[in-house]
Amino acid sequence: MVDTKKALPILFLVMFLVMVGFGIIIPVLPFYAEKLGASPTQLGYLMAVYSSMQLLFAPMWGRVSDRIGRKPVMLAGITGLAISFFLMAFADSLWMLFAARIIGGFLSSANMPTTMAYVADITTPENRSKGMGMIGAAVGLGFVFGPAIGGVFSKNSLSLPFIIAGISSVVTILLVAMLLKESSTKESRASAVQKKAPFLKAIKGISGLLFFLQFFISVSLAGLESTFAYFAAKKAGLNPASLGYIFMIMGLAGAFVQGGLIGKLTKKFGEGKVIQGGIIVSAIGFSLILLVNNFTTAAIFLTIFGVGNGVIRPSISSILTKTVTSGHGSVTGLLSSFDSLGRIIGPPLGGFLFSITAGLPYISGAILSLIALGFYIIYSRKLKESALS
């Protein structure tokens, strides 16, 4: 039996280190790829190929974790990150970057669904959002330190941040192996082997609308991530180090909301209201990004967007894991797959829109956010109709 009070802090630390490694490369990758000859469109494909692997394999890893346990699957996922970071660090051509992203995407697609499933395993429905929020806070804090580290060390060498990210992943592997206990039980694993994937019930039902909501949110976010470095450099003359600090500020604000407030907010208002509020704030943030003209405005406007966007995924995960009594890995894996589909479409779409005019990806992001809000409104109405019938 896993002690929730002990397991959640360990899981928080593990995901924090995972996201530090991931965050380190965010402000550096566009410039590193450009150095190896990548155009903005090719950078979009470089980001999309990683998400393509997650689209294909996240549901598989989720089901595997239901069958064999969370811990071995998490170890495989973090190992994939370490391999990909070291491969990118020593890449001397663009195709090597693509190869590293493919390998990393395939294995690391296990990380998020398995972590969310682990939280669902060890929390009660009443505390589910708080647990999911802690993971979101770990992700946010990873973005506090990761991009800052990447930005600082990129001053000396563009490849050095990738080496540091690889070392961080190796440390995380050791922590999981030594400190994290298995959360699934023999009974739940045996049941998962016998049953068909429970996520089929979720996607065919009313809850399926939430998967599509996550898709549109992911498209808008990925479009921003793939173009903001170019937009900020063009509009405000920002360099990789400055971008690193901006992502740090955004991550700190997001971590505060997710780690300290989301549990209280969902208990008071419910996950639904939190999702709606997050979408509205995200749309406002997208609109404000169009007005960026210096470091301060970039930091403030991106943070507004980040705070709104950051509360959506944990709240959706909480609702979806409550729709099934077992097979949490399958449901969170499918959610990750929809998230990845958005991240496949978002970068090339963002790059294409940016090539037309620099502000178009953010206008599109605001519109997509409103479409996502429409999906939640439909979901809410159908849920009420179902309860009355």
Give mean pLDDT, residues 65-88: 93
Most confident segment among 113-127, 145-159, 169-183: 169-183
**Structure confidence at residue 360 as a pLDDT band (50, 70, 90):** very high
Q: How far apart are CA 27 and CA 147, in angstroms?
A: 6
- For residues 288 and 181, what is the distance between their CA atoms, to the nearest angstrom? 44
User: Looking at residue 133, what is its pLDDT?
Assistant: 87
**For 181-222, what is each residue's pLDDT tens digit?**
888 777 777 666 656 555 555 556 677 889 999 999 999 998
Tell me what pLDDT residue 1 has: 62
Give dist(CA 124, CA 68) in Å, integer.
22
Q: What CATH topology corresponds to 4-180+191-388?
A: Growth Hormone; Chain: A; (1.20.1250)
What was the pLDDT predicted at 361? Answer: 93
The Cα–Cα gap between 291 and 309 comes to: 19
Reported as a single tens digit per residue, the pLDDT across 91-109 is 888 889 999 999 998 999 9
Residues in the chain: 389
Residue 326 has pLDDT above 70, yes or no: no
pLDDT at 389: 65
* 3-state per-residue secondary structure call for 107-171: HHCCHHHHHHHHHHHHCCHHHHHHHHHHHHHHHHHHHHHHHHHHHHHCCCCCCHHHHHHHHHHHH
**Distance (Å, rounded) from C-alpha 264 to C-alpha 178?**
32
pLDDT band, residue 246 (cuts 50/70/90): confident
Query: Percent of the chain having pLDDT more than 70?
Result: 94
| Domain regions of the chain by residue span | 4-180+191-388
- Mean pLDDT computed over 316-324: 83
Which of these ranges, 7-11, 148-152, 346-350, has the smallest mean pLDDT? 148-152
Query: pLDDT tens digit string along 121-152?
Result: 888 888 888 888 888 888 878 877 887 788 78
Confidence at residue 274, expressed as pLDDT on a 0 to 100 scale = 92
What band does 173 get if pLDDT is binned at 50, 70 and 90? very high
pTM of the model: 0.81
Q: What is the mean pLDDT of residues 59-85?
A: 92
Give residue 203's pLDDT. 58
On whether the CB atoms of residues 77 and 128 are closer than 8 A, the answer is no
Of 5-19, 162-176, 178-192, 328-342, which one has max mean pLDDT? Answer: 162-176
Query: For the segment 260-298, what is each residue's pLDDT rounded down to a tens digit?
Result: 788 888 888 889 999 999 999 999 999 999 999 899 999
Choose between 324 and 308: higher pLDDT: 308
| Mean per-residue pLDDT over the chain, rounded | 86
Q: Please state whether 357 falls in left (phi above 0), alpha (psi between -120 and 50) or beta.
A: beta
pLDDT at 325: 65
Residue 280 CB coordination number (10 Å): 14
